[in-house]
């Protein structure tokens, strides 16, 4: 198994795994990242990052509420931890836009 594919996302420009996969949460997720192979700078649209994060947390809360209605009780702490991990790992697949020079 290639460790580069786990630690890095695929660059939209050169198609190599050169963009850091785990960029953080919140403002860190919309910061500029640079491909280590082609040197192009990319970022995630901040509005998209906000709505995707909220959607992931909402999905986990909805599933947890449905399971509690069906008498399958899951502690809120476990749901919160799973939602946080999902947000971190989902950032790997968020669409990146090329950073325009100012």
Q: What is the pLDDT of residues 40-73, one digit of tens each?
A: 888 877 788 788 888 888 888 888 888 888 887 7
Cβ neighbour number for residue 97 with a 10 Å cutoff = 12
pTM for the model: 0.62
Cβ pair 36, 4 in contact under 8 A: no
Q: 60 burial class (0-12, 13-18, 19+ CB within 10 angstroms)?
A: buried
C-alpha to C-alpha distance for 27 and 59, rounded to whole angstroms: 22
Cβ neighbour number for residue 32 with a 10 Å cutoff = 10
Given a cut of 70, whether residue 74 has pLDDT beyond it is yes
């Amino acid at each position: 198994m290639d460790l580069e594919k786990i630690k890095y996302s695929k660059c939209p420009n050169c198609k190599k795994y050169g963009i850091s996969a785990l960029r953080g949460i919140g403002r860190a997720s919309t910061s500029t990242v640079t491909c280590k192979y082609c040197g192009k700078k990319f970022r995630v649209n901040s509005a998209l990052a906000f709505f995707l994060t909220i959607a992931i947390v909402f999905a986990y809360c909805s599933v947890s509420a449905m399971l509690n209605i069906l008498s399958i009780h899951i502690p809120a702490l476990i749901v919160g931890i799973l939602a946080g991990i999902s947000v971190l790992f989902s950032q790997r697949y968020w669409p990146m836009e090329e950073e325009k020079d100012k």
